[in-house]
A and B are shown apart, each in its own frame.
Chain A
Amino acid sequence: MSAHAENINYFKASKGFMSWLVTVDHKRIGLMYLASILLFFITGGVYAGLFRLELWGPLPGFISPDTYNHLFTMHGVIMVFLVVVPGIPGALGNFLLPLQLGAKDLAFPKLNITSLYLYWIGAVIALFSLTQGRADSGWTFYAPYSLSQNPAVLWMLVAAFILGFSSILTGLNFIVTIHKMRAPGMTWFRMPLFVWALYATGIMQVFATPVLGITLLLLLMENFFRIGIFDPALGGDPLLMQHFFWFYSHPAVYIIVVPAFGVVSELIATFSRKDIFGYKFIAFSSVAITIIGFLVWGHHMFVSGQSEVADTIFSFLTFFTAVPSAIKVFNWTTTLYQGSIKLTTPMLYALQFLFNFTIGGLTGIVLGILSVDIHLHDTYFVVSHFHYVAMGSTMIAFIGGIYYWWPKMTGRMFNETWGRLAAVLVFLGFNLTFFAQLIMGSQGSPRRYYNYLTEFQIYHQISTAGIVVLALGLFMALFNLLISLKNGAIAPQNPWGARTLEWTHAETPPVLYNFTETPVVTQGPYEYPTEKV
């Protein structure tokens, strides 16, 4: 590396395809994550598109029932393990965490590139499973169906295991970085809320993901050696497997959505040009969600044959998860109040997030009610609920975040008009797709069925039409960004007038080691100069 390479922008610091593959620069790793995740988002979306087209009519269409099972399994596995779980931390978190803290890099740059490679290896294995048959267990791999020694399911288990490892290493890296790598003056309460969110996420990644690891390992062992722990045919307890799985997978819901909380906090503060209302409440509610998130996994098992005692406890505790989420929503809304709101593209996504997350969160409470869940379990209501969270909240915040930090990442401004148009289409498309499913589910239409009663056809058709609009909006948003790479105006250092370090102290795009000199922090992340009225 040349003598002053550290003061050259990170694209130009070294050149060539290989220089990206062997890089330890968190910014490049973040961009590679971003590209991979978007690729799999499209892949998972295509799977969804295919089976939604099939569901246009109740009778068998162009897809056979087996293929249908395979398609929704692939959609679930790809979207969960390759898109929403690694999504915001992998792409935005990697790129921004050191910048927002005023550090030169993450604490363990080599570990960081390792987790990217693990992600790729896991992804390749997941794709390889396609050549081994058809995985059809759903993304939850419930025993005993996942014990049927389907080779494709076995490869999927291996893939998810490796992806879990990648997630653990990312979380570990983030926690250490936040504890040990903060710039002088960057106290805990001067950290941007995105950093707080990543911190809470990191705790869950490190403490919950290993349990998924052992679950998948036990499933593999059960498949190969018939150890009899989960397999009821051997005297095992299939519900034990569900406990293991959901001990990870409920916190995983928060691994998915808490980073989105962080992104939205940044967007709302910046585009309201106002100090965020209740900074500490938002920060601590992220941590509170982490803790409560470990206490409620049994609400996925109300109709599984779990004991009534456990049902009651888990239902009761589930209601508590609403408290920190509601605190956040109220604080964001209050931040908007009397702010100088700019309806830029990223802000449109943040507002969509507020709308969708409110629906996603409230439907979750409905599902937590024991007696109601008996009826709504395994209906489209559940499908709609978690899509309002995973897609309507997480992915929407992710896209908003990509738009918001795009100028910093690439040095180019995108076209606002097209960006806003795309955001509106995404909003309409998403809500068409999933609000229809909410109604249909509340009327008892079961999920994952290949066929359905004709009275539900109208909802299926609205839903399928919605996904077309959604796809249109998403591709428009994507092409808008890609076109800006070539045609976009050169971005200034701080186009949004934000107050966090990546905008105020780092160049656009940042230099190799992020800052030409280490920033000294003297104020909070959202302290805007007060304007006299």
Chain B
Amino acid sequence: MAEVTVPKEHEVAHHFDDLEQEFESHRLGMWLFIASEIMMFGALLVGGLLLLYKFPAAFAEGRAHLDWRLGTLNTFFLLTSGLTMALAAWHAQRSEQDKVRRNLLLSLAFATGFLIVKYFEYSAKFHHGLLPGNAFSGHGFTDPNAHVFFGFYFVATGLHVLHVLIGMGLMVWCLFVSRKVKFTRAYYTPVEQSGLYWALIDLVWIFLFPLLYLVA
């Protein structure tokens, strides 16, 4: 955007009485959405835990083919971007649009780092044929269910990566909004909501990381 637009104050939508009602509604709405996402990921993780219970040897063998250092690096990326998103919301409450944007960009950078690491992990799996089901061609495995680990690995991390991409989209959206609307203590909903969504991605990873990389 070449022209300099002065951010405007936000107006309360017609069906709300005041900013407080609007803010609280949006927050509860986001929490319920997060709740449904947690149920979805949670069910998947429950499935994963039950598979771990059923096929402990397969999980141990599969885990040995994941690199805990890469997983830890990614945990670091996600936790740090979680911090920068919280900082963005903190500055948004104080109408510091520039600092909001800087933190959003930082979060985007860390999220990109996460994706790059994931790319290397995935390509290593493809290279070694550590793929789900009939595509599996890894060698040296003894447990007949070892491929199930990689089936679960790809579904769970794939779904998580999809959410990372959506979260990054929300960050870009916030960058646009920050040019149009002046965030205030009473209205910083876009940053707040995107931050909540990003924290959800952190939450999922906090359980997914040990389940895949650490527990055996």
Q: Tell me, yes or no, whether A and B come into direct contact in the complex with CB atoms closer than 8 A.
A: yes
Query: Contact residues of A with B, CB < 8 Å?
Result: 103-109, 111, 168, 171-173, 175-176, 179-181, 206-211, 213-215, 217-218, 221, 225-229, 231, 234-237, 240, 244, 247, 513
B28 at interface by CB-CB < 8 Å: yes
Q: Could you pull out 24 A-B pairs where Cβ atoms are within 8 angstroms?
A: A104-B14, A104-B15, A180-B24, A181-B15, A181-B25, A210-B39, A214-B44, A215-B43, A217-B159, A225-B132, A225-B151, A225-B154, A226-B133, A226-B135, A228-B148, A229-B47, A229-B51, A229-B148, A229-B151, A229-B155, A234-B148, A235-B147, A237-B54, A513-B15
CB distance from B103 to the nearest CB of A (A): 27
Contacts A210-B36, A227-B155, A235-B147 aside, 18 further interface pairs with beta carbons under 8 A come to: A106-B15, A107-B15, A108-B29, A207-B36, A207-B39, A213-B40, A217-B155, A228-B145, A229-B151, A229-B155, A234-B134, A234-B148, A235-B145, A235-B148, A237-B54, A240-B47, A513-B14, A513-B15
Instruction: Tell me the complex Cα distance, A180–B47, Å.
Output: 35
Give chain B nearest CB distance to A311 CB in angstroms.
Answer: 18
Knowing A179-B28, A181-B25, say if A172 contacts B132 (CB, 8 Å). Answer: no
Q: Is B123 at the interface (CB under 8 A from chain A)? A: no
Name the contact of B40 in the complex, choosing from A108, A171, A211, A228 (C-beta under 8 A). Answer: A211
B25 A107 Cβ-Cβ under 8 A: yes
| B47 touching A227, Cβ below 8 Å | no
Interface residues of B in 49-68 (CB under 8 A from A): 50-51, 54
Evaluate contact between B15 and A227: CB separation under 8 angstroms.
no
With CB as the reference atom, state the residue of chain B lying closest to A104: B15
Chain B, 106-155, CB within 8 A of any chain A CB: 132-135, 144-145, 147-148, 151-152, 154-155
Q: Is B72 an interface residue (CB 8 A)?
A: no
- Minimum CB–CB distance for B53 against chain A, Å: 11
Query: 6 tightest A-B contacts by CB?
Result: A226-B133, A227-B151, A210-B40, A105-B15, A210-B39, A104-B15
Residue from B25, B41, B155 in contact with A221 in the complex, judged by beta carbons closer than 8 Å: B155
Of the four ranges (under 10, 10 to 19, 20 to 34, 35 or more), the interface on chain B belongs to 20 to 34
Interface hits, B132-189 → A, CB 8 Å: 132-135, 144-145, 147-148, 151-152, 154-155, 159
Contact yes or no, A228 B15, CB < 8 A: no
Q: Determine the chain A residues whose CB is within 8 A of the CB of B155 once the complex forms.
A: 217-218, 221, 227, 229
Please tell me if the beta carbons of B37 and A210 are within 8 angstroms of each other in the complex. yes
User: Would you call B24 and A247 a contact (CB within 8 A)?
Assistant: no
A-B contact count (CB 8 A): 114
A205, chain B: closest CB distance, angstroms: 8
Instruction: Tell me which residues across on chain A come within 8 A of B35, comparing CB atoms.
Output: 206-207
A236 partner residues in chain B, CB cutoff 8 A: 148
Q: Is the CB of B32 within 8 A of A172?
A: yes
- Produce 1/0 per residue, B1-42, CB < 8 A to A: 000000000000011000001001100110011011101110
Given contacts A172-B32, A180-B24, A181-B25, contact A228 B37 (CB under 8 A): no
Given contacts A206-B36, A210-B36, A210-B39, contact A228 B132 (CB under 8 A): yes
- Whether B28 and A168, one on each chain, are in contact in the complex, defined by CB atoms closer than 8 angstroms, is no
Tell me, rounded to whole Å, the shortest Cβ–Cβ distance linking B152 to chain A: 6
Q: Are B15 and A211 in contact (CB under 8 A)?
A: no
Residue of A nearest to B17 (CB): A518
Q: Which residues on B are within 8 Å of A, measured CB to CB?
A: 14-15, 21, 24-25, 28-29, 32-33, 35-37, 39-41, 43-44, 47, 50-51, 54, 132-135, 144-145, 147-148, 151-152, 154-155, 159
Cβ contacts under 8 Å, A180 to chain B: 21, 24-25, 28
- Alpha-carbon distance A513/B17, docked complex (angstroms): 13
Q: In the complex, what residues of A have CB within 8 A of residue B40's CB?
A: 210-211, 213-214
Which residues from A are CB-within-8-Å of B25? Answer: 107-108, 176, 179-181
B47 / chain A contacts, CB cutoff of 8 Å: 214, 218, 229, 240, 244
Shortest Cβ gap from B132 to chain A (Å): 4
Known: A108-B29, A180-B28, A229-B51. Is A234-B147 also a contact (CB below 8 A)? yes
> Cα distance A104–B36 when bound, in Å?
26
Give the CA-CA distance A221 to B35 in the complex, in Å.
23
CB distance from B135 to the nearest CB of A (A): 7
- The reply to whether B132 and A226 form a contact with Cβ atoms under 8 Å apart is yes
Given A240-B47, A513-B14, residue A175 in contact with residue B132 (CB < 8 A): no
Q: Closest CB-CB distance, A30 to chain B, in whole Å?
A: 15
Is A247 a contact partner of B43 (Cβ separation < 8 A)? yes
Q: Contacts of B147 on A, CB cut-off 8 Å? A: 228, 234-235
In angstroms, how far is the closest chain B Cβ from the Cβ of A242? 13
- A322 CB to closest chain B CB (Å) equals 27
Q: Which residues of B have CB within 8 Å of A105? A: 14-15
Q: Which residues of A contact B134 (CB under 8 A)?
A: 226, 234
Which A residues touch B154, using CB under 8 A? 225, 227
Q: Which residues of B contact A179 (CB under 8 A)?
A: 25, 28
Bound CA span A214–B152, Å: 13
Q: Given that A228-B151, A229-B151, A235-B148 are contacting pairs, would A211 and B133 also be in contact in the complex, using a CB cutoff of 8 Å?
A: no
Q: Which residues from B are CB-within-8-Å of A217?
A: 155, 159
Q: What CA separation (Å) do A208 and B109 show in the bound complex?
A: 35
A209–B38 alpha-carbon span in the complex (Å): 12
- Which of A176, A209, A225 contacts B29, CB < 8 Å? A176
B43 touches A209 (CB 8 A): no
Q: Distance in Å from the Cβ of A290 to the closest Cβ of chain B?
A: 14
Bound form: Cα–Cα A231–B133 in Å: 10
Of the candidates A107, A173, A211, which one forms a contact with B39 in the assembled complex, judged by CB atoms under 8 Å apart? Answer: A211
- Give A248's nearest chain B residue, CB to CB: B43
Q: For A109, what are the chain B residues with a Cβ–Cβ distance below 8 Å?
A: 15
CB-based contact A225/B32 at 8 Å: no
A227 touches B14 (CB 8 A): no
A296 CA to B28 CA, complexed, in Å? 29
Q: Smallest Cβ distance from A146 to chain B, in angstroms?
A: 16
Neighbour of A172 across the interface among B36, B41, B43, B44, CB < 8 A: B36
**Would A211 and B43 be within 8 Å (CB), given that A107-B29, A179-B28, A180-B28 are in contact?**
yes
**CB-contact partner of A210 in B43, B51, B152, under 8 A:** B43
A430 CB to nearest chain B CB (Å)? 35
Please measure, in the bound complex, the distance between the C-alpha atom of A125 and the C-alpha atom of B147, giving whole angstroms: 33
A228 x B43 contact (CB < 8 A)? no
